[in-house]
Structure 1
């Protein structure tokens, strides 16, 4: 049996899962997945060095997971996906110069506005089609222009490609994550050298690009792991997640990848970089099989995750599942703008939500369940607004919404989304990112013929639940 290993790293946790095809299942067969390792991903807040990822720990945990994967049988390939925008810098000796910054670090504060004014927001968007958000890689690199790290850098690698390099020794960037940097030309599919020059960034550090399905190399220098193929998947976790969504072949489906971030999107054949799309701050990101992910970013379960941390520090222990259950019993009261900048940084989220409610003349939630209800209602409103903008900018018709990822198990939010949009919601798979990662590896190995076949395989492997809009909002 051919086994593939998916390494899926989110901004709060990572896991390694093994996938195989079960040809004995009816119709197309099914995708069988077993998670073998899960770990927390830490960020260190250091006064002098800023917010940094603990890179050595991430690498070590991935190795642990791969060795556990080998206990299940022969692994023919691995595929790595991570969150977007963050990167590592390699010196001429092939060494990582410093721990990668976390995108929530404050070093980019104010840069988005000043660069948009200096170079021109219309100019940047018409070329890259990338949303303007304060932590884009372009601003991170601009902030680092005069640092010893960037001055001594030989190669710039996005985090999944940095891991590919750790295992294979090959330096190359995947286009799906490169398209989140605001440095990729959406029309040519190559680095936007003119924009890079305007930002006064060294052109020499940007390596060649590859697409999902490309064999980067083989693992080398890691003992029993040596010889396993390293296959490029949708290295941006959302790209793999979208690949794992069983979208209707009629092309009238929207998707929401619901995790720490919620990505509301449509799958298009070509980018849309006109003034309407720019005004709505929609991003065009490269997808699997040359598709375009036409996306709006919404600050998703991050709000709840930070709130749970806050309450734990106050001696109140609860879980997202418990909060969702309790929130179901409450009415809708408050709505916040989930993308307000105050909610972007780590910290006392309930205090910030309370402050927002006070400033907007709303009542203030009093219990964790009330805060959770506020968050869920606000996310549903944000989803509906984002989808309306995507539809207007693309001219597409949407008849169903597919919610995938960890947030798809939140039945209250699924129903609220259906009610707010007036469109049926289909929930699942929860493991869309891992499934998408795996089917790309299987396409590369010739086990699956196409993305459509892979999606049909996923649909045949899971049970999904439909939430129908109600006439009365919950």
Structure 2
């Protein structure tokens, strides 16, 4: 069969540092799936009125350019869907004009806001109601910060849309609020599944701008090209991690995932949420998935630390940093989720300060800095695994996790992935790299009637995107155990062992 005789859809996958317009061709008769990156573009913060913001006008233009380029290349896709990071939003007034900028989650406007919120609604009650981990940049705290700084803006707002919803709106003119992304906001009631308007009222937040929630796979409208070609606009799981989990070939409840990139999102897929005191103490989140599933996970500040370390070593590529890390000896460790690493002026200086405060030697070479980050991430993966075992011990048969699937861009980092296997003592399966795009594509193909359900999506991924299997190394056991013990000791000595961004990671 000719490659172009299958059905074609477009997945737009936006991350914090780059975006891609990806054409997918599905050959239903043979079960083949091929991805082609048609357009890639940079993303990042822009400074506006002293705040870190997203340039959504430019991003919208890049998306349209990518769609037109796809058509110019001869493809004839039938639909398009967009996934992005979570929590950030756009406010529109009564005439659908943007009210201010789309402020980015790493902006410091939410510094100290969580503590003010807890003074009005107790932390444990918020967790019981929402099941969402405490991150200082959650939409809840962004809205409270905005209410304090610009109450008139919130009062004028008639529409709140998260970033992918707004970008869909720019394509087809239809307003929406897709569930998986909305679930990251800490504004949904875990039990009811909708907006927690009582929580908002207690925080004096107006709720008139909230839109009805829609499920992944909802058809929103149509986009038309300059030449008149029309594509259905379908909301996938618009949170990129939700799409990545859909695109991860999990076998069963004994499988874990790490969506590895700027952030590392580590967790399980579950039919039931975990929002008891133990899950609160470990600060796990219960974000929305598809088909009634929850993403029980912890956000871990991932390869962001390496990305920012390159500011201090601009002559080295990411691959060269990894190579030098492999050659460097084990040494100092940091807590990657310490608040100082969220958006420091200098990541190298932040690591130096952490090491000094915890009585450790300061890394000197680029390889020592990178080794410090990679081993620290592996230690945090191990800690998260142990916490997952504890909070799920009564719910998962045998309480036995048997494999970790690492997907996303970080699945190409063989050194970090091997450290994950060594520290966690579990086999690791890597790939697919494009898990978010694949989950996005799978949602569209299902909505179009070409795939039956979630298992069919994962079977398609498994059959077309083979990964690599890694196993714990016996000769690394002693060194791993020594670093694991040191990691626990340094966390107890760190002045920020319970960071003000009780987090992990974002988008």
Does the residue aligned with 2:351 lie in a helix, a strand or coil? helix
Q: 2:140 aligns with which of 131, 135, 138?
A: 138
Give the Cα–Cα distance (whole angstroms) in 2 for the partners of residues 340 and 472 of structure 1: 31
Give the Cα–Cα distance (whole angstroms) in 1 for the partners of residues 177 and 227 of structure 2: 26
Give the corresponding residue for 2:60: 59
Shift in Å, 1:23: 4.4
Q: Deviations over 1:237-271 (max 9, x none)?
A: 000000000001x3210000001010001000021
Give the corresponding residue for 1:235: 238
Give the corresponding residue for 1:356: 354
Shift in Å, 1:362: 1.3
Q: 1:371 aligns with which of 364, 369, 372?
A: 369
Contact conserved, 1:175 with 1:189, CA < 8 A, in 2?
A: no
Contact conserved, 2:302 with 2:377, CA < 8 A, in 1?
A: yes
Contact conserved, 2:28 with 2:450, CA < 8 A, in 1?
A: no
Q: 2:11 aligns with which of 6, 18, 34?
A: 6
Give the Cα–Cα distance (whole angstroms) in 2 for the partners of residues 10 and 346 of structure 1: 20
The question of 1:341 aligning with 2:339 is answered: yes
Shift in Å, 1:42: 2.5
The question of 1:160 aligning with 2:164 is answered: yes
Q: How many residues align?
A: 464
Give the corresponding residue for 1:262: 264
Contact conserved, 1:136 with 1:182, CA < 8 A, in 2?
A: yes
Contact conserved, 2:406 with 2:431, CA < 8 A, in 1?
A: yes
Give the Cα–Cα distance (whole angstroms) in 2 for the partners of residues 149 and 62 of structure 1: 28
Q: Deviations over 1:260-284 (max 9, x none)?
A: 0100010000211111111111000
Give the corresponding residue for 1:429: 432
Q: Deviations over 1:39-74 (max 9, x none)?
A: 11121234x341111121111111111111223421
Contact conserved, 1:86 with 1:137, CA < 8 A, in 2?
A: yes
Does the residue aligned with 1:254 lie in a helix, a strand or coil? strand
Does the residue aligned with 1:376 lie in a helix, a strand or coil? helix
Contact conserved, 1:177 with 1:236, CA < 8 A, in 2?
A: yes
Give the corresponding residue for 2:497: none
Does the residue aligned with 1:229 lie in a helix, a strand or coil? strand
TM-score w.r.t. the length of structure 2 is: 0.89
Give the corresponding residue for 2:51: 50
Q: Which runs of 5+ in 2 are unaligned?
A: 1-5, 480-507
Contact conserved, 2:92 with 2:157, CA < 8 A, in 1?
A: yes
Q: 1:218 aligns with which of 196, 219, 222?
A: 222
Contact conserved, 1:240 with 1:288, CA < 8 A, in 2?
A: no
Q: Deviations over 1:377-405 (max 9, x none)?
A: 00000111112112211223210000000
The question of 1:275 aligning with 2:277 is answered: yes
Q: 1:114 aligns with which of 108, 113, 116?
A: 116
TM-score w.r.t. the length of structure 1 is: 0.95
Give the Cα–Cα distance (whole angstroms) in 2 for the partners of residues 247 and 229 of structure 1: 29
Give the corresponding residue for 1:318: 316
Give the Cα–Cα distance (whole angstroms) in 2 for the partners of residues 451 and 296 of structure 1: 23
Q: 1:187 aligns with which of 178, 187, 191?
A: 191
Shift in Å, 1:323: 1.2
Give the corresponding residue for 1:471: 474
Shift in Å, 1:115: 0.9
The question of 1:127 aligning with 2:167 is answered: no
Shift in Å, 1:223: 3.4
Q: How does 1:7-46 map to 2 (within 5 A)?
A: 7-23=12-28, 25=30, 29-46=31-48
Contact conserved, 1:310 with 1:347, CA < 8 A, in 2?
A: no
Give the corresponding residue for 2:296: 294
Give the corresponding residue for 2:104: 102
Shift in Å, 1:329: 1.9
Shift in Å, 1:225: 6.5
Give the Cα–Cα distance (whole angstroms) in 2 for the partners of residues 271 and 424 of structure 1: 26
Q: Which runs of 5+ in 1 are unaligned?
A: none
Contact conserved, 2:132 with 2:186, CA < 8 A, in 1?
A: yes
Contact conserved, 1:296 with 1:390, CA < 8 A, in 2?
A: no
Contact conserved, 1:174 with 1:212, CA < 8 A, in 2?
A: yes
Shift in Å, 1:356: 0.9
